[in-house]
Amino acid sequence: MFGGVLNCRTFMTPRLRLFSSLHRHYSSTLETNYTESQKEKILQVLNEDSSLLTRYDITKLRVKKISDFLGKNGEIKSISDIENMEGFTEKTAKKLFKSILDGPKEKIENLNKKIKGQILHPSLSENLRQSCKTVLAVYITVNSVCWVLINRENYVVDEWSYHGIDYPDGKKMQITDILNMAWTLTNNMPLADLYVMKAEATSLRATGSDPNNPKVLGVNLQKAQLVAMMVALINAKNNDMEVNKINETESQTNQELKQKVYFLRPTLPFRLYGTLVGNERVSTDQTVINLLQEAASRESNSHVFVPENLVNDYLSQKELQKDMLGQCLLLALTFMDICIYKNKESINKLLKRTE
């Protein structure tokens, strides 16, 4: 009738041409907005059991559309394939992808709603909470730095160390001296997926009748400088390792800083383990001894296990060192129970003691 093969472009209306252009732009935007590792994670989730998709930011109807697509076409090969599924727009696709990258929704009620105020800064994503394998708690005082390394899988303390800080007699520490100290300490630390410290005071002023005491202000300033340098070095080391893993074809100029150090509200360990009487902190010695006795006879991974050699090292320390090691252990266990394992028993105990 038309004397030959029809060219579909000849009969494409302006509206259809516009739709085709937008369609290609949508596809291009999706492909360029994510790194290869992010695309791989998104595809892995999309190709899993469709019923598990309800954990993410997606309606049940769109879950069905993905399931239907998989049934008809097999595995999704590219994230841009989602635009071929009915009911998806660029906005809804990006919303789903973001929730996949952030991790599935929590089924447990948000702790921030249970415990008044912010307990951790920055906030810990569900994806990181579930994927971390090791946690290093770092406890810094004016005279010492302690750390506890915990294996998340079986809740075991792998390392428990105390390091004293020696100040030169009659000599003020220069910024380079503090940097050298921070460098040495962070290089001696074991690597971990996450690091936790207690949130520090935002003021250098002393408590008591003489808040502007120059000596106290000077000591607090040096401690604040040490903490800041150690946080920077820990983050720099871990971010540098991740940058080195990036595919050479990906741009490194757009890499964002990934926070590795988290700050826990300092009163939580005191409240959870009862080492705060009024506003006064008491020694951790007896509390830690009780914990170690429980750990030796634990029947499940719901309680921490501390190997005998680390227990003996702890018991051989002087009282001050034992207290600092104890503070660090309680910091580590509070973070693990409240933020990582979300242990209901610990949460309820904390809530009762903060009422």
Closest CA to 138 of 342, 334, 339, 329: 329
pLDDT band at 20 (very low <50, low <70, confident <90, very high): very low
The C-alpha atoms of residue 269 and residue 148 are separated, in whole angstroms, by 14
The 3-state secondary structure of 13-63, one letter per residue: CHHHHHHHHHHHHHHHHHHHCCCHHHHHHHHHHHCCCHHHHHHCCCCHHHH
140 bridge partner residues: 145
Q: How confident is residue 190, by pLDDT bands cut at 50, 70 and 90? A: very high
CA 250 to chain centre: 24
Q: Which one, of 265, 168, 183, 303, lies nearest residue 232 by Cα?
A: 183
The confidence band for 139, taking pLDDT boundaries of 50, 70 and 90, is very high
Contacts 24+ apart (CB under 8 A), 183-190: 183/233, 185/145, 185/230, 186/230, 186/233, 186/234, 186/237, 188/161, 188/163, 189/136, 189/138, 189/147, 189/234, 190/134, 190/136, 190/147, 190/149, 190/158, 190/159
Q: Using CA atoms, how far apart are residues 12 and 202, in angstroms rounded to an integer?
A: 65
What class has domain 8-102?
A: mainly alpha
Reading the block at residue 301, the tokens are 């991974």
| pLDDT tens track for 216-263 | 788 888 899 999 999 999 999 887 766 555 554 455 555 677 889 999
Q: Does residue 18 have a pLDDT over 50?
A: no
Q: How far apart are CA 120 and CA 265, in angstroms?
A: 6
Taking the C-alpha atoms of 110, 116, 121 and 122 in order, what is their torsion angle to the nearest 10 degrees?
Answer: 40
- What's the pLDDT score for residue 33? 80
The string of DSSP codes covering 253-286 is: TTPPP---EEEE-THHHHHHHT-EETTEE--SHH
Identical topology for domains 8-102 and 111-354:
no
Please tell me what DSSP assigns to residue 147: E
Q: Indicate the domain borders of the chain.
A: 8-102, 111-354
Please give the angle made by the CA atoms of 312, 315 and 321, to the nearest 5 degrees.
125
* pLDDT for the residue numbered 295: 80
**Two tokens, residue 203:** 């003021």
The pLDDT of residue 318 is above 80: yes
CA separation, residue 230 to residues 32, 130, 180, 182, 234 (Å) = 36, 26, 10, 5, 6
Domain 111-354 grouped into CATH 3.20.20.60: no
Query: Rounded CA gap, 317 and 298, in Å?
Result: 24
Q: At what angle do helices 308-315 and 285-296 cross, to 10 degrees?
A: 160
Can you give the pLDDT at residue 257?
A: 79
What is the distance between the alpha carbons of residues 351 and 134, in angstroms, rounded to a whole number?
Answer: 27
Closest of 278, 293, 281, 173 to residue 229, by C-alpha: 173
Q: Chain-wide mean pLDDT for the chain?
A: 81
Query: pLDDT at residue 85 above 60?
Result: yes
CA separation for the pair 117, 334 (Å, rounded) = 16
Q: Are strands 261-264 and 144-151 parallel, antiparallel or unpaired?
A: unpaired
Residue 182 burial by CB count (10 A; 0-12/13-18/19+): exposed, middle or buried? buried
Angle ∠(166,170,173) on CA atoms, nearest 5:
55
What pLDDT sits at residue 327? 95
What are the backbone dihedrals phi and psi of residue 120, each rounded to the nearest 5 degrees, phi first? -145, 140
